[in-house]
Structure formats: structure tokens, C-alpha cells
Amino acid sequence: MAVRHRTGPFGTYKEPMSGENDTALREFVTSRLPQLRRTAFLMCGDWRMATDLTRATLARLVADNRRGAVADPDVYAYADLMEACRRRNRRREHVFVASPGAAGIEAESILLLDALHKLTPRCRAVLVLRHWDGFDVDATGAMLDLDGERVSAYERAGLAALERLLGESEAAMAG
Amino acid sequence: MSAPLNRLLQHVLEGEPPLGDEVDAIFRRADRLRRRRTRTVLGAGAATVGLIGALGYVLTATLLSPPPVTITPPAVSAIAAPSPVLSRTPAPAPALADGVLAVIEPLLEGRKLTIVPGSAERGPGWRQYRVTEGPGRPRGTIVVAVFDVGKNLDARKKWCFPVAADLDECARPDRAHGLESVRYDDVSDPDRQVRQTVARRLGDGRVLAVLAVGKRNVGAQRGKPALTGTQVEKVATDERVFDAFRRTEGCDDLCPSLNTPVTPR
């Protein structure tokens, strides 16, 4: 079985190649699923929706990889997930939804999620991919179809806006 | 701020629900997606094949359809010059089925003689045809005329075949198969021979005259008619020729001239 080893932000894994059997593909899906779902939650704020979007993205990845249409599974998966989140957020107002049975979320976490979702979708996607998933500028640009300068610009603008929003929220809570 | 932001985001994800059997669900969903795509591809292929077939049929039907039918008027011959035997210029014959021609033409076959195309002329009770030998060498004219000899006679008089030398005398006809006939051949002029037979059908009293006259001074066969005397008699005694004329038809004032006239007496 031809398996290519790739080093990513989450360590080294076997990258499934076109035409391989489902074992390597299943290994890839198993290793990527938790992180992809967390990324989806940061983008949409709803665990149920994050689970559905992640499942759909990975299903498309599996189907396309079986017919040899996937060159880079990571880029494919994150690009597809970001596009799905963008389409989904366009259709509905953002609402934070805790997972069933959760003990409760700290107020700071809610403030952070609220500040994150007040950013533009591009800024939020760049911050999540760069500071949560740990991708470099080039990989982030490939996933969002942006060049390196635009990624850096979105990142700077997003961080500045996030600091300002969090500062305003903390001031409000202190006052 | 990268490290602090990452730590802050980890706190946000503290209430993460368990995954369950998501991996199996993903692969089942991938299988459904593949089947749906396969059906879509097959459906699109079938639709494409159907579309190509339909377009091919339409194009083939359009390109190979026959041109619209155009009705061309039947060829009408120029008015033929009057035969020396005829005294009037007849009207051209319309393109109708000709029962007389159907009897005459077989007699010309095999003798290099043909009815001039478009030369057939007709009038009430008569038909006329010009004959050529080979490429345009005239062989005279054939005239067929029918007479209703009884309509102008009173009850005391009876029509009879004339004698060629004395038209007031009655000739003795040959009788066969319900018909009486007399031949009136005249070969006294070798450059213009005449073959004529007059026949009467006993059933209806109608009289039929068939005349074949040669063309003077044309070719080696100059003067000889297209039909022999026997052939002329055969035409005159053919029931089909009588039947080719309507019962009400009869040569009256506008008949072609015959060598031996048929007149009621």
C-alpha cells in the first residue's frame, strides 16, 4: 500500500493516496475528526451543527479520495469545512448552543466566542486556522484561497479587533 | 498573542460532546454520496444519449426529407401541321388515358415505329396520332373516328357500308364476332398509300373508321402507312377501341377527313 507520510500541525500521519484501500483513509478520518469538529464549532458556535458539517466534509473527502480526486487531504478537508461554515452562517443568525448535558460555560468563554463571531468571516477563519489549528500562512492561504499577504492582513486586523472587543467586554463586566 | 489565544480557545471547547461512532457514520455517508453521484452520472449520460438521438433524428429527418412536390403542367405539343387528309386544325389532346392508343401502340412495337410524343390529338368522336420511323422520319398519320349513323336516319332508311367507287351504293361487309367491317385500301398512288377499315358494331349500331395514311416523299418507305391493311382492320374490329369512346361521342361537323367518308344516308 503506497502511503505518504506528512508532518502537519498535529504531528506525523499517514496521508492516504489515491486508490488506496479504506484502512489508511479511515486512519486519516479518525485522526482528523476531533480537531475538525472543534474548528467547526469555533466557526459556527453550535456543537450539533459543527458535528454535521464535519461529517459532511469528511464524507465528501472519503468519496472524492476513493476516486482519486484529492491531492492534499488536509487542504481539502479544511477548505471544504470553511466553505460549508461560511455558507451556513450566511443563512442564519449566529446563536451559541451548548452541547446536551454540558455543565455550563464560563462567562469568559462566552465573551470570547461572542467577540470571535463579531469578526468578519474571513478574519475569524484566518484566526481559527492560524491560532487554533496552527497552520502556517501558506497552508491557511491555500485553504481559504488567499495569498500570503492577504492572510497576514486578515490576521493582523482580526487580532486587533479581537483585543478591542475583549477589552470592551471586560470593561463592561468590571463596570 | 498566538499562544494566549490558543489557550483561551481551549477553555471555550471545554463542553465538547463525545464523538460516538462518527467515523462509521462518515463512511456510510460517503457510500451514499458515491451511489448518488453514480446515479446522477448515469442519468446525465442517458439524458445526453437521448438528446443526441433526438437531435440526430431531427437533423436526419430535416436533411433527408424529399423536396416539396411541384406540380408541372403536362407537356403540350405545339399545334401540329394539318395532315393532307385533314381539313381542320384539331385541338391538342389532354394528358388522359387513351384506350385507342393502348390498342395501336403494341402494333408498332418492334418495327422501329413510334407515336410522336405529344402528337396525339382528339376531339368529340375522333383521335389522331402522328407516327415516325427512327429519329424523326415521318410515317404518316393514323386517324380513328366513331360515328353515330342512326341518329339522323328516319325509320325507313338503313345505313350501309359505301362502295369506294360509288358512295351511293352499299358494300357487302364481312361479319365476325358481332361486328361488320369493310376495308377501303387505296394503293393507287405509291407515294401516298391509304389503309382504311370501317366497322360497325351490331350491338349499338355505332360505326368506327380507322385510317392509316402514308407521308408523301419522305425516306425509303415514302408513301407507306405506319399500319398494314390487316392491322388497320384489326384496330377497327377491336371492341376496346369502340369502348374507348363514350357512348354519346360521335364525329359530326369537326371530324378529320377520311379517304372513304362515313356519312349517314
Q: Which residues of B touch A113 (CB under 8 A)?
A: 12
Q: What is the pLDDT of residues A82-121, one digit of tens each?
A: 999 888 765 445 556 555 555 555 677 778 888 888 888 8
User: Residues spanned by CATH 1.10.10.10 within chain A?
Assistant: 105-169
pLDDT for res A67: 85
Average pLDDT (B216-242) is 84
Average pLDDT (B198-219) is 84
Note the CATH number of domain A105-169.
1.10.10.10
Q: List, as one string, the DSSP characters of B58-122.
A: HHHHHHSSPPPP--PPPP-PPPPPPPTT-SS-PPBPPS---HHHHHHHHHHTTTTEEEPTT--EE
Q: Would the pLDDT of A31 be above 70?
A: yes
Distance from CA of A63 to the nearest CA of B (A): 5
B229, B195 Cβ separation under 8 angstroms: yes
Per-residue confidence band for A12, with pLDDT thresholds at 50, 70 and 90: very low
- At residue B234's C-alpha, the angle toward residues B241 and B130, to 5°, is 70
Q: Would the pLDDT of B4 be above 80?
A: no
pLDDT for res B2: 58
Which residues pair with residue B129 across a beta bridge? B142
Q: Which three cell numbers stand for residue A106?
A: 464560563
Q: Which three cell numbers stand for residue B230?
A: 390487316
Say whether residue B41 is in contact with chain A using an 8 A CB cutoff. Answer: no
Name the residue facing B22 among A55, A130, A162 (closest C-beta): A55
Least confident span in A101-110, A127-136, A166-175, B22-31: A101-110
The distance of Cα B159 from the centroid of its chain, to the nearest Å, equals 39
Q: Which three cell numbers stand for residue B120?
A: 396525339
pLDDT for res A113: 83
Say whether residue A55 is in contact with chain B using an 8 A CB cutoff. Answer: yes
Q: Would the pLDDT of B229 be above 50?
A: yes
Query: Other CB atoms closer than 10 Å to residue A50's CB: what's the count?
Result: 26
Integer Cα distance of A65 and A73 in angstroms: 8
Across chain B, mean pLDDT equals 80
Q: What is the dihedral of CA A171, A172, A173, A174, to 10 degrees?
A: 50
Integer Cα distance of B257 and B128 in angstroms: 11
Name the residue facing A62 among B2, B9, B27 (closest C-beta): B27
pLDDT for res A7: 45
- Which of A13-17, A148-152, B5-9, B136-140 is modeled with the greatest confidence? A148-152
Q: Which helix (H) or strand (E) holds B213?
A: strand B207-213
- Residue among A10, A29, A42, A110 with most chain B CBs within 10 A, to mutate: A29
Integer Cα distance of B140 and B130 in angstroms: 6
Q: Would the pLDDT of B47 be above 70?
A: yes
Q: What Rg do the C-alpha atoms of chain B give, in angstroms?
A: 44
Q: What is the pLDDT of residues A49-79, one digit of tens each?
A: 899 999 999 999 999 998 888 888 999 999 9
pLDDT for res B1: 57
Q: Which residues of B touch A127 (CB under 8 A)?
A: 5
Query: Other CB atoms closer than 10 Å to residue B160's CB: what's the count?
Result: 16
For chain B, the structural domain boundaries read: 99-243
Scanning every residue of chain A, which has its alpha carbon at the shortest distance from the alpha carbon of B14? Answer: A105
Q: Where are the alpha helices (DSSP H) in chain B?
A: 2-12, 22-63, 99-108, 229-236, 239-243
Name the residue facing A131 among B2, B25, B30 (closest C-beta): B2
Are the Cβ atoms of A131 and B26 closer than 8 angstroms?
no
Q: What is the pLDDT of residues B137-181, one digit of tens each?
A: 888 899 999 888 876 555 556 788 888 888 888 888 988 888 899
Per-residue confidence band for A27, with pLDDT thresholds at 50, 70 and 90: very high
Residues counted in chain B: 265
Least confident span in A86-90, A156-160, B124-128: A86-90
Query: Is the pLDDT higher at A148 or at B255?
Result: A148
pLDDT for res B67: 58
Q: Which residues of B touch A98 (CB under 8 A)?
A: 15
Sign of the torsion formed by the C-alpha atoms of B247, B252, B256 and B262: positive
Q: Which residues of A touch B38 (CB under 8 A)?
A: none
pLDDT for res B152: 59
